[in-house]
Amino acid sequence: MASRSVDVRETALPGVGVRHDFTTEAGRHVGLISYRSGRREVLFYDGRDPDAVSQSLELSADEAEALAALLGATRITRELFSLPQQVEGLVVEWLRLPPTSSFAGRTLGDTQARTRTGASVVAIVREGQVRPSPAPEVGLLGGDVLVVVGTPQGLEAVTELLEL
């Protein structure tokens, strides 16, 4: 799937952080100030004056991380859906973790899935929300859908490991 390149301009804000600006396909000028504290501010510029901000939205560090994860998850999910189910020995499988699995209520790291099977959990889908590139400390719940990538043998081993 081809994507349009977006020209993002970066401006250092000494003592404050950094500002990134770009123009949408619809012609809206949008900016993001990343403060040194981790707080973020999304800026919507006035269409008539490129330096005048018409609206802004402040996000805490946690809110910015959640939004970034959602936006990143959208891209990762789109790319995963565009992949064929098998590409020269590579398989992408969506596996639902049963509540009866010994790993329900434990962390992804506890599974040691990659070490044991060679397959990688690249995302977790829970209640319609996608968590891309989950860290080992992310907890697993019965009903989670694990997006796993690996060889057919690796996927079979993950299925056995998770007691599916």
For strands 40-45 and 120-126, give the pairing. Answer: unpaired
**Do residues 67 and 58 make contact, with C-beta atoms less than 8 angstroms apart?**
no
Position 75 in a domain = no
> What's the chain's average pLDDT?
83
pLDDT reading at 21 higher than 80? yes
Residues 157 and 87 in one domain: yes
Q: Which two tokens stand for residue 133?
A: 């590139």
Residues 91 and 129 in one domain: yes
Identify the pLDDT of residue 2: 44
**Do residues 18 and 11 make contact, with C-beta atoms less than 8 angstroms apart?**
yes
How many domains is the chain partitioned into structurally?
2
Residue 114: CATH number of its domain: 3.30.70.1450
Identify the pLDDT of residue 90: 77
Identify the pLDDT of residue 84: 54
Q: How sure is the predictor about 69, in pLDDT bands with cuts at 50, 70 and 90?
A: low
Position 32 in a domain = yes
Residues 130 and 99 in one domain: yes
Identify the pLDDT of residue 77: 55
Position 153 in a domain = yes
Position 134 in a domain = yes
- Residue 74: what residue type? T
Residues 93 and 153 in one domain: yes
**Do residues 116 and 161 make contact, with C-beta atoms less than 8 angstroms apart?**
yes
Position 135 in a domain = yes
**Do residues 41 and 30 make contact, with C-beta atoms less than 8 angstroms apart?**
no
Mean pLDDT of 19-24: 89
pLDDT reading at 50 higher than 70? no
Residues 90 and 43 in one domain: no
**Do residues 52 and 46 make contact, with C-beta atoms less than 8 angstroms apart?**
yes
The candidate with the shortest Cα–Cα distance to 36, out of 9, 61, 71, is 61
**Do residues 59 and 39 make contact, with C-beta atoms less than 8 angstroms apart?**
yes
Residues 136 and 86 in one domain: yes
Cα separation, 127 vs 107, whole angstroms:
18
**Phi and psi of 24, rounded to 5°?**
-75, 165
Cα separation, 124 vs 133, whole angstroms:
8
* Domain, as residue range, for 122: 82-161
Identify the pLDDT of residue 107: 95
Q: List the single range of 79-83, 147-151, 153-157 with lowest mean pLDDT.
A: 79-83
Residues 55 and 86 in one domain: no
